[in-house]
Structure 1
C-alpha cells in the first residue's frame, strides 16, 4: 500500500492507538500534553529547586552495551592548527583573544537517552496481504520512511544514503519541548537494588503505599537505584556493575501493559537500561516479541521511553518532603533523522 491510498495500514495492531491523533501523527501520546497539563506541571514548582536528571554523557565508564560506545572527544581545526587554546594572534597579529572549539563522535543512546518512536518496530502485516513488513508506530515503514542500507526481509541490494528516519525521528519529540508533569515511582524504596520484575499487582501496592496518583498527560519516572550503581563505577572502574541487578517493569504482564494504556501516561522513564526488565531473549509473547514493553509503548501506543536517567537525587528529596510530582523538562537533541538522543533533563520542585 502507498500513502496515495490515504492510509499506510488497513488494520491497526490490536491494542494500539494508530490513527487516534491523525493519520500522519508522529508524536503519539505526547499529544496529550495540552496547555492545561503544562500549567498543572508548572504548579508543582514550589521551592524553586532544580535537579539534574542526566548522568555524565560518558557514563557508564565501562561499556555495558556492545553496540553503543562512549563519546570520542576531539578538537576542531583552524587550517593545520588544533583549535584548543588557540590564540587569534596567529591569524591576526596583535589580537589577544584565545579560543577553544571541539567536537565529539557520539553513540546517541550510550548514556541518559530517549528512544524515538522508530527505535523499535515490529514485523506487521498492516495491508492484510499475508506478508509482514518492518513497521513502526502509526504504520510508518522501513525503507519508505526509515531509511537504512539493507532490506533484510527481501535480501535486496544495499541502498545508498542518506540514511535515517524521514518520519518519527527524534526531532519530532524535541519539537514538542517535552515538558510535562513528572511522577516519581520509587521502586528502589520498596525492593532495593534487586532484580525484581515489577508487574501490575506489585506496582499497584507501591503506588498505594506511597499515595502516588497518575493522571493523563503525566511522565512516569521509575527509580530503581541503578543510576547510583553506574555513578559508583564511574568514580571507580573497579566497582562491578551488573545491568541485570535492578528492578524493572515486567512487560510480559498483560495487566501491567493494559494499565499503561489506561493511565494516559505520555512517556515512561527509568534509571535502568531498558525501563522494562533487561531481556533474556529466551521468553517471547505469543505474537513474537521479546521486548514486550518496548513493543507496547513505542510500536503500539507512541509512548517514548527514557533510559538511564539520573533519578535518585530527586527521588530522595521527593520522599523526604512527602511529594511525588514535579515539573519534568527533558527535550532530546533536535537532530533530524536520529532514532535516539542523549538528553540533559531537569526536574524542578
Structure 2
C-alpha cells in the first residue's frame, strides 16, 4: 500500500484542488481510501467477531415513502404473478440515494474545478460506454473491515446538548472525540467510521406534514458533521470510509467555502454512507458496552453506477 502522506502535505499536485490526494494510488486508481482495507487490515478486523451476532444497518428501501428528501424518486415495487404456474416475480424502481446508500465516486465533484476523483471530468463520465469511477469498483472486494460506531445521539442526550436534525447545525469534532473517549472506543487506522446523529429518531417522530415542510426549504436545512480542516485531517489520518444516519453526512448546506463531499469523494475517493439505520446497532453496542465490530458491505455490482444500497451488516 502507498505510504500515506501527512494531511499538511495535501494537495499532492501543485495544480490539484485543495486537500486532494490525486495519484496517491496511481493515476488510474478508482478505489481511493478503500485501498487502506488491505488483506492484513481485514484479517485483524475479523478478530472483532466474538459472538456471531449480526445486525443490519439497512433502512427499508421504501422508508421515505413517496416524499424522499432532495427531490429524489420514490421507491416503487411491482409484484406480479406469472400464470399458469404458481409463481411471482417483482420489479423494483428506485433512486439509489433514497434510502441507505454509499455515495460512489461519480456522485460529487469539486464544484469550482468541476473535477471528480483523480481529475475525471463530467464529459469522461458521460462519454458513451464509460464506466469510469463506477460503484462496480467497490463491489469487487466489498467494503469490509473494522467498523466503529460513535453514538453521538446518546452522548449528547446525557450531556443535555440541544440538537435538531431538521435545522442547520454542526456536530463538532471535539464532541466526536469525546464520544469515543466516553465509550472507550479505540480508533485504528483504516477503520470505517459510523456516526449516529439521531436523525432516524427525529424522522420516526416527525409527521408527514413536518417532513413536507423540510422538503419545501431549498436547500434543505440539516444537521451533520462540521465542515472544518480539523475534521478533514481527523478523517484523513484514520478512516477508509465514513457514514452516518444523516441524509447528507455533513451539515447542509455547508457553513464553509467547501463541502466535505468535495474533498472526501473527489479529493480522496473516500465513500460516504448516508441514511444508515443505526438504532438496533446502537442498542446492541450499549448492551455489550462495545462499539467496534466487523463490518461487511457488498455494494451492488452496477458498472458505472453513481451510488448503491450498502447491503451492510455489523458482526460481533
Q: Which TM-score band applies after superposition, normalised by the shorter structure?
A: 0.7 to 0.9
Structure 2: gaps (5+ residues): 1-12
Structure 1 residue aligned with 2:101? 113
Match of 2:18 among 7, 11, 14: 14
Please tell me whether residue 272 in structure 1 is matched to residue 246 in structure 2: yes
**For residues 186-265 of structure 1, what are the structure 2 equivalents within 5 Å?**
186-192=151-157, 194-195=163-164, 196-231=169-204, 237=208, 247-251=223-227, 253-263=228-238, 265=239
CA contact (8 A) 2:294 2:314 kept: yes
Is the counterpart of residue 43 in structure 1 residue 43 in structure 2?
no
The normalised TM-score by structure 1 is: 0.76
Provide the alpha-carbon RMSD of the alignment.
Answer: 2.4
Could you tell me which of 113, 131, 138 is aligned with 1:173? Answer: 138
Distance 1:224 1:35 in 2: 31
Specify every segment of 5 or more residues in structure 1 that has no aligned partner in the other structure, as ranges.
Answer: 1-8, 76-83, 89-96, 125-131, 149-160
Q: 1:28 aligns with which of 32, 52, 76?
A: 32
More helix by share: 2
Aligned to 1:340: 307
Between the two proteins, the alignment pairs up a number of residues equal to: 291
Runs of at least 4 residues off by over 4 Å: 236-247
Secondary structure of 1:135 counterpart: coil
Q: Is the CA contact (8 Å cut-off) linking 1:51 and 1:346 kept in structure 2?
A: yes
Assess, with a 3 A threshold, how the Cα gap between structure 1 residues 54 and 166 changes in structure 2: closer, same or farther: same
For residue 80 of structure 1, what is the aligned residue in structure 2?
A: none
State the alpha-carbon separation in 1 of the partners of residues 18 and 250 from structure 2: 21
CA contact under 8 A between 1:232 and 1:239: conserved in structure 2? no
**Could you tell me which residue of structure 2 aligns to residue 78 of structure 1?**
none
1:52 matched to 2:25: no
Structure 2-normalised TM-score? Answer: 0.84
Structure 2 CA distance for partners of 1:138 and 1:189, relative to 1, 3 Å: same
In the alignment, is residue 102 of structure 1 matched against residue 90 of structure 2? yes
Given the alignment of the two structures, is residue 147 of structure 1 paired with residue 115 of structure 2, yes or no? no
Displacement of 1:13: 2.7
Q: Please say which structure displays the higher CA radius of gyration.
A: 1
Please report how far the alpha carbon of residue 100 of structure 1 lies from its aligned counterpart in structure 2 after TM superposition: 0.8
Whether the 8 Å CA contact 2:68–2:98 is kept in 1: the answer is no
**1:326 maps to 2:300:** no
Deviation at 1:191, TM superposition (A): 2.0
Corresponding residue for residue 3 of structure 1: none
Question: Hey, what does 2:4 align to over in structure 1?
Answer: none
